Chain A
Amino acid sequence: MKHSSSPPKLAEKLLKWYAGKADLEDIQGDLDEVYGLSLEHSCKLKADFKYWVQVLSLLFSYGLKRRKSKAAYSSFYHKNSFAMLKNYFKIAIRNFSKHKLFTSLNIFGLALGMCICLLALSISVSIYQSDEFQEKKDRIYQLNTFIETDDETKTFGSTFPAVGNFLKEEYPFIEEVVRFNSELNLEVNHRGNMMNFSGYFTDPSFFDTFSFQLIAGDPKTVLSKPFDIVITEKVAEVLFKDQNPIGKVLETDLGSFNITGVIQNLKQTHFFFQMLTSYSTYEQMRSEHPNNDWVNYRNNYVYLMLQPDVNNGQLALALEQTAKKASQFNPTKAIEIESIELTSVVPRWNISNAIGIGWDEPSLIFFMFVGLLVLLPAVFNYTNLSIAQSLKRAKEIGVRKVVGAEKFQIKAQFIVETVLLSVLALIGSLLILYPMKEEFLSMIIAAEVLDTSPSFAQILTFLIFAILVGLFAGIFPAQYFSRLNPIQTMKGEIINGKSSVSGFKKGLFVFQFFLSLVFVIGVLAIVRQYSFVLNKQHGFESDNVLTVPFEGIDKKVAIHELSNHPDVKVITTSSDLPGLFLSNEVKATSNDQDTLDSYQVFIGDDFVENLKMNLVWGNSKELAASNQNEELVLVNEQFLKSTKVFNLQKDSLRFTLEDGTRCRVAGILEDFNFEPLSQLISPIMFRYAPEKSHYALLTVNSSNIKRTINELDAIWNGIDQEINFKASFLDDEIEEAYYFLRVQIKFFSVLSILAITISCLGLLGMASYTTENRTKEIAVRKIMGATNRNLYYLLTKDFIKLIMISALIAIPVSYVFYDKLFLYFLLRYGSGLGVLEVLAGILFLFLVGLSSIYWQASKVTKANPATKLRYE
């Protein structure tokens, strides 16, 4: 009885773990003896309980504590000696140079894997440092508005514009208030060409508050009068190449603006503008009653600069009172106004209507996640390969252990090695990244504002990242090696050094190939979408349609002259090109209560007929018959579907626009994709107004299109020499609208190339390891008469099995991910994922994988068995 039961294992372990290196022998003996005694008197459960109590009492006892601290200070366990560290490095470098293939495979793999992460990190570092250069950054705050209504609760980066004046008047501790309105979108007429620029309306105090430098102009006066405008260096270069822009006049759709200053290009700031114009311009232009200043919070931003040495309590109190005031004007909303320090405006977690680009943390995290997804296989490679190498290093570890190395010292060796390797990989990665960086940054909106050039913070982040990667990659091999039994390793037998690949390694392997496959299928799927959208009829005729932007030409004359050309079959006009994104929105109401946001397109004669759009009902010819009282319009089916939800008493085909125009539907168009296929079909109304159109759409029928265009150009020049003739085919314009798909293709291609390369490096390493370990076996097989085919089969079958497993997992995952999620969001009316893409992806990966195994296998099978028998 006494010998059959032993004390609770967990308690023993706990004690051992807690005691660490302290000498426990006598105490454990005491415990066992007491346990034995109590077993004689009582049942096992009770004895176990008593044992636990004893162990717990020991954990808190002074005796054990004392023994522990004694053990820790003994000279034998001296941890951080410099000589030892030096030795780790020495051995690491020797080991690298001894196994050149493995080292370079690992460095290359990790370097590739780190690329995307480094890019994400450099962007994050840059974003987190936004506005650090502002001299008065400690005193500047952005006001955010927390608004709670019945159906939503949101924090807006914007606030009511009236808050600015209110605070300035009521609270003397606020030194400056800067208001912004981000609705400045100018269409500048630049030598007959229309160019779009965006920017802010802002107060003259902008230059007192923020440290943006003017290259030309006086910061005190540049924004003092209405229609004063300041442009950035970049815009100045585009518009006035060699001239001095100061004093020039910009002719725009909003009127003439006087250029009073040039501001340096934006760098490291959360603002994003091409132009700044005075806030008084905004006040002069808008039609709303000033009372709206307490109601409209969208696109309006207020920044405060406090007097020096003002405490935050004062500001909080002031904002509370301001919010109360704002609530009076917005009775249905609960409003709070918060202040955010200038340097923490970006990145934020979830802010609606943020100023500028509005960098947010979720997208940074997503970017980093994608990077880690690529890095992970590389880390797995390292783990796999270094464990595979254990055969070669086992003896070294055995000797170390016999001489007296502790577990942690063996671990330290491997950790130091891996960290060194990953720092080398970091350098390699930067070399790979350098030429790719520009290309990548060009895919990110407004990346030019970010300063991703090397800085101290960036280099530090990179180093910390590399060290973390090293620790992560090294921890598993280190754990594995430190556990090896010295006696067995000295004899040269390792239980784990079998020629087959262990289950864990197989799992990592499958994961890598799974990932590569998902990326490859992603590339192919998007390429398929791309060719789909280019070939698909959007619901109108786009072949042989030539588009000519009017710019500033006399439209009537141009239409008349161009239609006289024999190759031009018909000509029509439109304000927006079909197949491209729409922007011109209008509010329509059919019952004076509910308004519907609809796009409006101004069309000319025969627009519907020429582009072969399908009318469900009505007649498009009637459009021109509009009169003063009633405008006749065409709408799409979606428009009517959307108005159905309203409570309509009157005729559903009549509605009023926000400017008071009364409209009647004269015809209904069948729903079609006026916008790119990524957009949901939204309500659109077509209004007859040739004078408001921007493009002439010419249906041409020509045997020599070049000649026709040249002739049209000549006609155009005959009308107005100032304006360039810029004809392009509608199909090409539509293709251009799918730019976002090309970006995606590029992005996924890079990812898949990285992932595949990394996986293949891993495959290569594993294949070379297994074949090397089986050299003798293969030699024997050869001598016994195995053919090359048998040998190839033998060497490749394991890997092929693994690739097949990963394909089996990848197919359903990529189907769900791409077909149901990704492609759906990318392209609402796309064609989904095809079987062909999936098969092609698998085949491609198979070939790539197989060729890298073949390379290694052929080395062994071609070798002379007689010499190889002496190997090992």
Chain B
Amino acid sequence: MKGYIGEFEELVLLTIANLAKDAYGVAILNDITERANRKLSIGALHSTLTRLEEKGYISSYLGEPTNERGGRRKRYFELTDSAVTELNNMKALRDQLWAGSKVNLSLK
């Protein structure tokens, strides 16, 4: 079995990939809220981020202190190689399933 990522985890990983250099807590939060139209708390987001970090899919570093946020630094996240591999695996699996579908999946 290939390394398991949940649906939400995949969403977070892809969001980080979309945000690239700007992927920090609030940015990810807002992006997911807008795109997926989901209500999401900081606690839930950080739980997922921590899990992903433990699984080795993302790494994080603290940015430089700026004038916003009362001088508090932001923690930026970026994808690791294994995350890229995993995302590819997921996509390949999906594509395969889409291609092999015997039911017409296209929207009418």
Same complex origin of A and B: yes
A interface, CB within 8 angstroms of B: 25-34, 37, 53-54, 56-64, 66-67
With A26-B72, A32-B69 as known contacts, state yes or no: A66 contacts B50, CB within 8 Å: yes
B40-48, B80-88, B89-97 - interface stretch: B40-48
Q: List which B61-78 residues lie within 8 A (CB) of chain A.
A: 62, 68-70, 72-75
- Identify which of B30, B49, B74 contacts A63 (C-beta below 8 A): B49
Complex contact B51–A27 (CB within 8 A): no
With A26-B62, A29-B73, A63-B49 as known contacts, state yes or no: A34 contacts B43, CB within 8 Å: no
What CA separation (Å) do A29 and B25 show in the bound complex? 9
Complex contact B73–A26 (CB within 8 A): yes
**Residues of chain B contacted by A63 (CB below 8 angstroms):** 43, 46-50
Q: Is B57 an interface residue (CB 8 A)?
A: no
Complex contact A64–B72 (CB within 8 A): no
- Closest chain A residue to B28, Cβ basis: A30
Q: Is B29 an interface residue (CB 8 A)?
A: yes
Complex contact B44–A57 (CB within 8 A): yes
**Residues of chain A contacted by B68 (CB below 8 angstroms):** 33
With A32-B69, A58-B42 as known contacts, state yes or no: A26 contacts B25, CB within 8 Å: yes
Complex contact A54–B43 (CB within 8 A): yes
Q: Can you list 19 pairs linking A and B with CB atoms under 8 Å apart? A: A25-B62, A26-B74, A28-B72, A30-B24, A30-B29, A33-B26, A34-B29, A34-B42, A54-B41, A54-B42, A54-B43, A57-B42, A58-B41, A61-B43, A62-B46, A63-B48, A63-B49, A63-B50, A64-B46
**Residues of chain A contacted by B42 (CB below 8 angstroms):** 27, 30-31, 34, 54, 57-58, 61
10 closest residue pairs by CB, A with B:
A57-B43, A63-B46, A61-B43, A29-B72, A26-B75, A57-B41, A30-B25, A62-B47, A63-B50, A29-B69
Complex contact A61–B44 (CB within 8 A): yes
Kindly provide the distance from the CB of A727 to the nearest chain B CB, expressed in whole angstroms: 93
- Identify which of A27, A57, A59, A66 contacts B25 (C-beta below 8 A): A27
Contact count band on B: 20 to 34
Complex contact B74–A29 (CB within 8 A): yes
Complex contact B73–A61 (CB within 8 A): no
- Closest chain A residue to B54, Cβ basis: A66
- Closest chain A residue to B41, Cβ basis: A57
Complex contact A62–B51 (CB within 8 A): yes
Complex contact B29–A32 (CB within 8 A): no
Kindly provide the distance from the CB of B72 to the nearest chain A CB, expressed in whole angstroms: 4
From A25, A26, A34, A37, residue with most partner B Cβ within 10 Å: A26
Kindly provide the distance from the CB of A73 to the nearest chain B CB, expressed in whole angstroms: 15
- Identify which of B26, B43, B48 contacts A59 (C-beta below 8 A): B43
Kindly provide the distance from the CB of A716 to the nearest chain B CB, expressed in whole angstroms: 99
From B42, B68, B72, B73, residue with most partner A Cβ within 10 Å: B42
From A53, A60, A62, A67, residue with most partner B Cβ within 10 Å: A62
Complex contact A33–B69 (CB within 8 A): yes
Complex contact B72–A61 (CB within 8 A): no
What CA separation (Å) do A57 and B62 show in the bound complex? 23
**Residues of chain A contacted by B49 (CB below 8 angstroms):** 63
What CA separation (Å) do A58 and B49 show in the bound complex? 13
Complex contact B43–A25 (CB within 8 A): no
**Residues of chain A contacted by B25 (CB below 8 angstroms):** 26-27, 29-30
**Residues of chain B contacted by A58 (CB below 8 angstroms):** 41-43, 46
- Closest chain B residue to A67, Cβ basis: B50
- Closest chain A residue to B49, Cβ basis: A63
**Residues of chain A contacted by B44 (CB below 8 angstroms):** 57, 61
**Residues of chain B contacted by A28 (CB below 8 angstroms):** 72
- Closest chain A residue to B50, Cβ basis: A63
- Closest chain A residue to B73, Cβ basis: A25
**Residues of chain A contacted by B24 (CB below 8 angstroms):** 26, 30
**Residues of chain B contacted by A37 (CB below 8 angstroms):** 26, 30
**Residues of chain A contacted by B69 (CB below 8 angstroms):** 29, 32-33
From B26, B54, B62, B68, residue with most partner A Cβ within 10 Å: B26
What CA separation (Å) do A37 and B26 show in the bound complex? 10
Besides A26-B62, A34-B42, A64-B46, 5 more A-B contacts (Cβ < 8 Å) are: A27-B42, A29-B74, A32-B69, A64-B43, A67-B50
What CA separation (Å) do A25 and B30 show in the bound complex? 19
- Closest chain B residue to A24, Cβ basis: B72
**Residues of chain A contacted by B70 (CB below 8 angstroms):** 29, 32
Kindly provide the distance from the CB of B99 to the nearest chain A CB, expressed in whole angstroms: 37
What CA separation (Å) do A53 and B73 show in the bound complex? 23
**Residues of chain A contacted by B74 (CB below 8 angstroms):** 26, 29
**Residues of chain B contacted by A34 (CB below 8 angstroms):** 26, 29, 42
Kindly provide the distance from the CB of B108 to the nearest chain A CB, expressed in whole angstroms: 38
**Residues of chain B contacted by A62 (CB below 8 angstroms):** 46-47, 50-51
From B25, B54, B73, residue with most partner A Cβ within 10 Å: B25
- Closest chain B residue to A61, Cβ basis: B43
Kindly provide the distance from the CB of B31 to the nearest chain A CB, expressed in whole angstroms: 13
**Residues of chain B contacted by A27 (CB below 8 angstroms):** 25, 42, 46
What CA separation (Å) do A32 and B68 show in the bound complex? 10
**Residues of chain A contacted by B73 (CB below 8 angstroms):** 25-26, 29
**Residues of chain A contacted by B26 (CB below 8 angstroms):** 30, 33-34, 37
What CA separation (Å) do A53 and B54 show in the bound complex? 26
- Closest chain B residue to A28, Cβ basis: B72
From A27, A30, A67, residue with most partner B Cβ within 10 Å: A30
What CA separation (Å) do A681 and B55 show in the bound complex? 89
What CA separation (Å) do A104 and B49 show in the bound complex? 59
Kindly provide the distance from the CB of A11 to the nearest chain B CB, expressed in whole angstroms: 12
Complex contact A61–B29 (CB within 8 A): no
Complex contact A25–B72 (CB within 8 A): yes
**Residues of chain B contacted by A53 (CB below 8 angstroms):** 41
What CA separation (Å) do A59 and B41 show in the bound complex? 11
- Closest chain A residue to B71, Cβ basis: A29
Complex contact B47–A61 (CB within 8 A): yes
What CA separation (Å) do A473 and B41 show in the bound complex? 45
**Residues of chain B contacted by A33 (CB below 8 angstroms):** 26, 68-69
Kindly provide the distance from the CB of B38 to the nearest chain A CB, expressed in whole angstroms: 14
What CA separation (Å) do A61 and B43 show in the bound complex? 5
- Closest chain B residue to A56, Cβ basis: B43
Kindly provide the distance from the CB of B71 to the nearest chain A CB, expressed in whole angstroms: 9
What CA separation (Å) do A27 and B74 show in the bound complex? 8
Kindly provide the distance from the CB of A186 to the nearest chain B CB, expressed in whole angstroms: 81
What CA separation (Å) do A533 and B49 show in the bound complex? 86
What CA separation (Å) do A37 and B34 show in the bound complex? 14
Kindly provide the distance from the CB of A62 to the nearest chain B CB, expressed in whole angstroms: 4
What CA separation (Å) do A37 and B68 show in the bound complex? 12
Kindly provide the distance from the CB of A501 to the nearest chain B CB, expressed in whole angstroms: 40
What CA separation (Å) do A864 and B29 show in the bound complex? 75
What CA separation (Å) do A57 and B43 show in the bound complex? 5
**Residues of chain B contacted by A32 (CB below 8 angstroms):** 69-70, 72
What CA separation (Å) do A411 and B69 show in the bound complex? 34
What CA separation (Å) do A60 and B70 show in the bound complex? 25
What CA separation (Å) do A171 and B29 show in the bound complex? 77
What CA separation (Å) do A66 and B47 show in the bound complex? 9
What CA separation (Å) do A780 and B26 show in the bound complex? 64
Kindly provide the distance from the CB of B6 to the nearest chain A CB, expressed in whole angstroms: 13
**Residues of chain B contacted by A54 (CB below 8 angstroms):** 41-43
What CA separation (Å) do A27 and B51 show in the bound complex? 16
**Residues of chain A contacted by B62 (CB below 8 angstroms):** 25-26
From B24, B49, B50, residue with most partner A Cβ within 10 Å: B50
What CA separation (Å) do A164 and B24 show in the bound complex? 83
What CA separation (Å) do A123 and B24 show in the bound complex? 67
**Residues of chain A contacted by B29 (CB below 8 angstroms):** 30, 34
What CA separation (Å) do A30 and B40 show in the bound complex? 13
Kindly provide the distance from the CB of A31 to the nearest chain B CB, expressed in whole angstroms: 6
**Residues of chain B contacted by A57 (CB below 8 angstroms):** 41-44
**Residues of chain B contacted by A66 (CB below 8 angstroms):** 50, 54
- Closest chain B residue to A31, Cβ basis: B42
**Residues of chain B contacted by A26 (CB below 8 angstroms):** 24-25, 62, 72-75
What CA separation (Å) do A54 and B42 show in the bound complex? 6
**Residues of chain A contacted by B72 (CB below 8 angstroms):** 25-26, 28-29, 32
Kindly provide the distance from the CB of B79 to the nearest chain A CB, expressed in whole angstroms: 18
From B29, B70, B72, B74, residue with most partner A Cβ within 10 Å: B72
